[in-house]
Amino acid sequence: MATSAEQVKKLRDETSAGMMDCKKALDASGGDYAKAVVWLQEKGLSAAAKKASREASEGIIEIYSHMGGRMAVMVEVNCETDFVARNPDFRELAHNIAIQIASSAPLYVKREDVPAEEIAAQMGKFKEEILKQGKPENIAERAAAGKMEAYYVDVCLMDQVFVKDPDGKLTVKDLVTQAVLKIGENIVVRRFSRYQLGETVQASE
């Protein structure tokens, strides 16, 4: 049973969880609304989303150097209080995010940061590739949308799989959500810069 946009919106309004998280919950629950609410509660996403509206203006700028100084990352991670900014768990999170950036070279913090013109260009490119294979227009449209999801995972930090997760399932967004629930404050990855000799990749909020 396909999950409708109305179902996703209703669940989001009820729980304050993100649209993608609500869709995952409904898909995992076979469209059963009550089960989807429980799924979100168990994942802690609802609680984390409620904290996301709170201002996060404290934090740290983590600097990570790798390959004998041939690569460096600067990432700003924000929290609500200076007390949490000194918390070892918060600092470990910032360090792990810096390692992620060094390893996976994202271009943006989150998919909302990707410029509309870039999204349109990528969608057009993917669709053209599929049409050249002789696929009909409606199939090409859906396949291109699927390729865009893979593209976001490749270029958006929060969508990437955390490099230190042994199971290869935990995303950076999941990692931040876990920290929010453990620490009890809103946490925001604000911006980053990744420098490598001969190449610079930057991203900001």
Q: Which CATH number is 5-51 given?
A: 1.10.8.10
Helix ranges, the chain (H)? 5-15, 19-28, 33-43, 45-51, 82-85, 88-104, 116-131, 137-155, 172-183
Quick check: 205 pLDDT over 60?
A: no
pLDDT of residue 8: 85
Please check whether residue 97 is in contact with residue 77, taking contact to mean a CB–CB distance below 8 angstroms.
yes
The residues, any chain, with a CB within 8 Å of residue 155's CB and separated by 6 or more, are: 106, 107, 108, 114
Tell me the pLDDT tens digit for each residue of 26-79. 888 888 888 888 887 777 666 667 776 677 779 999 999 987 888 999 999 999
pLDDT of residue 178: 86
Percent of the chain with pLDDT over 70: 90
Domain ranges of the chain: 5-51, 58-110+156-203, 115-151
Helices 88-104 & 172-183 angle (0-180, nearest 10): 170
The CATH fold of domain 58-110+156-203: Tetrahydropterin Synthase; Chain A (3.30.479)
Q: Which CATH number is 115-151 given?
A: 1.10.286
pLDDT of residue 119: 92
Here the tokens at position 156 are 């958006």
Quick check: 202 pLDDT over 60?
A: no
Average pLDDT over residues 151-164: 95
